[in-house]
Structure 1
């Protein structure tokens, strides 16, 4: 991943998330030692258990494949139409939220159509997990990337040429190598799937230059259907994907971006580490989650703080050794209840369904980034939390970063517009979900499952506080030729004697002490909201001092009223807790925990993430229905033929022992 111009991108790990910027056939720094990349974690499932196209019948349908291979009895939303479009040889551009079932949209056509589906994925560090998940349901999948030695690559290439693969994963960088294109020419390709298609957008923080060359797929193999998929895209990004990937004539599918199982909450940043700890202890004890921080230093500090307080937490940022990053990512995927504290370098492509919360300790740069990051919670559809601590310093810092960024004025205006939209989401007194969906062009009604719905904030007339603050900024500049940051301005308004106010004789200003009707925290909220509304600005001196804007004049002369948000007291306490087992019947909750213990053992023995064995949603179904036969077990969502054959008897024993 590469950040948009103007923001530091050294937190992005080349050798974890992309093909490295050297000969991709050199030995890689992260060797895979889990039995190989072809056929699953044990070096290949027995031939009898592989889902070969012939085993599904010469004319297997999409629904038959869904039922027999993946264990689901019906498609969701637009899945059926998308899948049939690709099976019939058409191109598709799919915008579908995380957890909406995008992978099935290319996996099923790859199993139904003759040949091998080639999947372009930007994350080589996760290809093994994707292959493991497919192997667990009996599909024949493999990857080619720089983590393999020449013998392993040769095995995969031979399997592809022999028609023994249903899916082959490649990083976009590998297509730079002419031998890769020649290999594809020599094989039989059923489709091309371009995952994380938003990486083609040069405005996004996930921009990958090698995605720009993927138009070659259509140019070199014009008769092979293509499907491009992403979980986040505004109308502008949507058009950019279609243009750069030559998908203008493709059929476009845009699903609702709503994730009703996620509860969105944004709190004023007071003591963020303590606030985070309270969230984890009271609402998510023992749950897996992700905590996003802006800098490497804050990642380390936060991870250490959580560990000191009894939380299993791991850091992830580009300053760590590559092997440490890989090991931490592996633990997060494979162990239960691990909290990953990370920069935005972590997360894209993480297919872990039981992430119960995503927390932000710093303000995201855009609504798209926020949506994408929070979308990593609750992929299994179970209740989850998206929590953000947001304060004045976040706004000042982001404004300063934009001013100091490289690029032309148009680029900085785009960054400012992204930040303005994010600030509007933070400061809204309306339903947060409505505001979030509106950003993606979708209308909705109040959700009843966000903090502003559960505990509505109050909108107050903030004109007088705004005038007091703006007048202080103006007087300091005009009378003293001075500029100061928010903290000093608040000290003046509250009449607080400090070495700085004494040194500069600010007790002689006309606005000295006129703001004692508000607390320091309330004044910081006024500053934050005036910055969000464009009535204050961060000076370009690099010190975070504040200046008035053109719009400030209308507030000072009384022609423009100012509405401010008053935070409700103890808003977080009104929020619903979202423990996975909270709504299970008492008699089922004990069995659910025993099933989780059994799953952990199976995953440990196989060296795969627990969700590859079974997801929480499937274990909940088993705990509720308590099947007593393989036939009953086979009717539960998520139990396909291969998993029924592999785990059925063991699961029935767990159920029987619990009874």
Structure 2
């Protein structure tokens, strides 16, 4: 196949601007369409280089690329990265004091990229502004926000098509990492992109190790994760109160810098905490889901959930904030049965027409949590892919769980819930089943029930996992006061027609720190550490996060290859012309001196 002169020119621009020898994944396919002025929806996993698919063409096409992005923080991250590579870019947001200069540069055609929020883009005056200069491309980031089927629906995204239709000769590029088949179809329709414009790069993030475990001493589990993963991390907690408590607990237990982030904090404190995290090389941010979409930090080494997310789509997007640089990263979910019970209760509070879809989302998430098979395969099948049965990089593939039949114990639990009146919590039901000498059990005369004491000591440790499994599968629900009640059709379980199996709970072991492959410098090279220190100093001087100077991967390559000249340094992936000009001398000096 003979390549077009345009893609050869793009490949040369890739080498010159970004310092990369060739495109990755489906980048070339997307860029080919953009350069041919064909509207496109690109579904690409986080870390696959979505922003490059519009930034690079913007430097080649005549006119300005207008980028619609949902959050100011995300725009400013993209702005720093673009300018560091020598691209002429600006943002037009409420946080920008230089908006007059930006407008002048835009009208003069001096910008390759102009970033704006959908709320600004939907204003009538903005359409007039766009008519004052030549446009090269509309790029719509986080495009799933346009769909009511998406998990992050933003009404202002629905105003983008009328805006873009006013400039029919300007192609449009929509980008997302998170969209199932239904959402993809809706995005195409809402943004006026033909079906043949869909490019799917796949959803796999092979560098992320997925692990899902029941919550058991949450603080200890998260502290162990922080010990194992030495780089920056994000812990998602379900409530503001939990965010504050966990941040304090982890700071005390780990000795690492830990900050909270949630919508209840003053705006200036939120902004300061976010800026500190973006610039840090070892900070842990404990946050609600209000934190994350605006973060384009490539070196996050772990994302932990202290409860179940809203859906598989939300889980995929939130875990996707780990390992954007391609280095190994971990996604850990710690869940409890109550998470699913509460989620099922919330479904009853939404509009009737949405309930079926919400149940399907929750059932899909329950399937991911409960599977004894490959987690990655479940994720990828949810997005319509056909992955191998095993991935070799999730907890179940690395250590296959032993499945045990607990049907009889499940029957005992359901019987005890029913016979105690479907109003007591797990603790009381457990005491009844194990025959505990308890005053409350006696006062309710539950020691006279046929289910009293029918669970032997050796199987009593399985009671909590069994109750969790029954709640996840919708056979047990919570009452308004936190008790347990029967739900769904439990007759088939009680009658033996449905078997219940769970993963055998692991024996408790003492925490052991992982060493070696979890650090940015796995071989302990002192040159790498010296280069990292230099990067830190240069970043502080320039007022940018360290990764804007160079990613860890570029520093590791420098330490391994020890370039002795500008020409040799230019061969390191990630060293483009602008960065070579700015940083060659100090980095070559450190290499010579170490």
Q: Determine whether 1:94 maps to 2:51.
A: no
- Quote the residue 2:579 is aligned against: 643
CA deviation after TM superposition for structure 1 residue 399, in Å:
2.3
1:144-293 matches, within 5 Å, as 144-149=92-97, 152-249=98-195, 251-281=197-227, 283-285=228-230, 287-293=231-237
CA deviation after TM superposition for structure 1 residue 547, in Å:
2.4
CA deviation after TM superposition for structure 1 residue 576, in Å:
8.8
1:470-524 deviation digits (Å, cap 9, x = unpaired): 11122233xxxx5222222222111223343232111111101112345655211
- Paired residues of 2:73 and 2:294 also in contact (CA < 8 A): no
- Quote the residue 1:456 is aligned against: 400
Kindly report structure 1 stretches of 4+ aligned residues shifted beyond 6 Å. 57-60, 571-577
Question: Which of 383, 397, 401 is residue 440 of structure 1 equivalent to?
Answer: 383
1:494-573 matches, within 5 Å, as 494-518=434-458, 521-539=461-479, 542-569=480-507
CA deviation after TM superposition for structure 1 residue 453, in Å:
1.1
Q: Determine whether 1:112 maps to 2:60.
A: yes
Q: Determine whether 1:417 maps to 2:360.
A: yes
- Quote the residue 1:348 is aligned against: 293
Query: CA 1:465–1:573 in structure 2 vs 1: closer, same or farther (change >3 Å)?
Result: farther
Query: CA 1:449–1:60 in structure 2 vs 1: closer, same or farther (change >3 Å)?
Result: closer
C-alpha distance in 1 between matches for 2:82 and 2:39: 23
Query: CA 1:340–1:555 in structure 2 vs 1: closer, same or farther (change >3 Å)?
Result: same
- Paired residues of 2:160 and 2:191 also in contact (CA < 8 A): yes
Give the secondary structure class of the aligned counterpart of 1:61.
helix
- Quote the residue 1:579 is aligned against: 518
- Paired residues of 2:149 and 2:182 also in contact (CA < 8 A): no
CA deviation after TM superposition for structure 1 residue 397, in Å:
2.5
Question: Which of 118, 122, 125 is residue 70 of structure 2 equivalent to?
Answer: 122
CA deviation after TM superposition for structure 1 residue 225, in Å:
0.5
Bigger drift between 518-527 and 290-299 goes to 518-527
- Paired residues of 1:455 and 1:574 also in contact (CA < 8 A): no
C-alpha distance in 2 between matches for 1:66 and 1:90: 20
Q: Determine whether 1:625 maps to 2:561.
A: yes
C-alpha distance in 1 between matches for 2:107 and 2:517: 48
Gaps of 5+ in 2: none
Question: Which of 58, 61, 65 is residue 13 of structure 2 equivalent to?
Answer: 65
C-alpha distance in 1 between matches for 2:513 and 2:188: 43
C-alpha distance in 2 between matches for 1:615 and 1:363: 31
1:289-321 deviation digits (Å, cap 9, x = unpaired): 100000000000011112223120110000000
Query: CA 1:100–1:323 in structure 2 vs 1: closer, same or farther (change >3 Å)?
Result: same
- Quote the residue 1:357 is aligned against: 302
- Quote the residue 2:418 is aligned against: 474
Question: Which of 296, 303, 307 is residue 251 of structure 2 equivalent to?
Answer: 307
Query: CA 1:290–1:248 in structure 2 vs 1: closer, same or farther (change >3 Å)?
Result: same
C-alpha distance in 1 between matches for 2:301 and 2:488: 44
Give the secondary structure class of the aligned counterpart of 2:212.
strand
- Paired residues of 1:451 and 1:575 also in contact (CA < 8 A): no
1:263-294 deviation digits (Å, cap 9, x = unpaired): 1111221101111101111x123x10100000
C-alpha distance in 2 between matches for 1:323 and 1:574: 36
- Quote the residue 1:390 is aligned against: 335
Q: Determine whether 1:590 maps to 2:590.
A: no
- Quote the residue 1:23 is aligned against: none
- Quote the residue 1:14 is aligned against: none
CA deviation after TM superposition for structure 1 residue 653, in Å:
0.6
C-alpha distance in 1 between matches for 2:136 and 2:74: 23
Query: CA 1:411–1:458 in structure 2 vs 1: closer, same or farther (change >3 Å)?
Result: same
C-alpha distance in 2 between matches for 1:443 and 1:577: 33
C-alpha distance in 1 between matches for 2:28 and 2:8: 14
1:386-426 deviation digits (Å, cap 9, x = unpaired): 011112222223223333x2322x32222222111111111
- Paired residues of 1:455 and 1:568 also in contact (CA < 8 A): no
C-alpha distance in 1 between matches for 2:560 and 2:243: 39
C-alpha distance in 1 between matches for 2:41 and 2:122: 23
- Paired residues of 1:535 and 1:551 also in contact (CA < 8 A): yes
- Paired residues of 1:256 and 1:442 also in contact (CA < 8 A): yes
C-alpha distance in 2 between matches for 1:416 and 1:182: 44
C-alpha distance in 1 between matches for 2:229 and 2:338: 27
1:62-100 deviation digits (Å, cap 9, x = unpaired): 111111001101001111111010111100101110001
C-alpha distance in 1 between matches for 2:194 and 2:450: 62
Q: Kindly tell me the number of residue pairs found equivalent between the two proteins.
A: 587
- Paired residues of 2:77 and 2:295 also in contact (CA < 8 A): no
Q: What TM-score results when the alignment is normalised by the length of structure 2?
A: 0.95
Gaps of 5+ in 1: 1-56
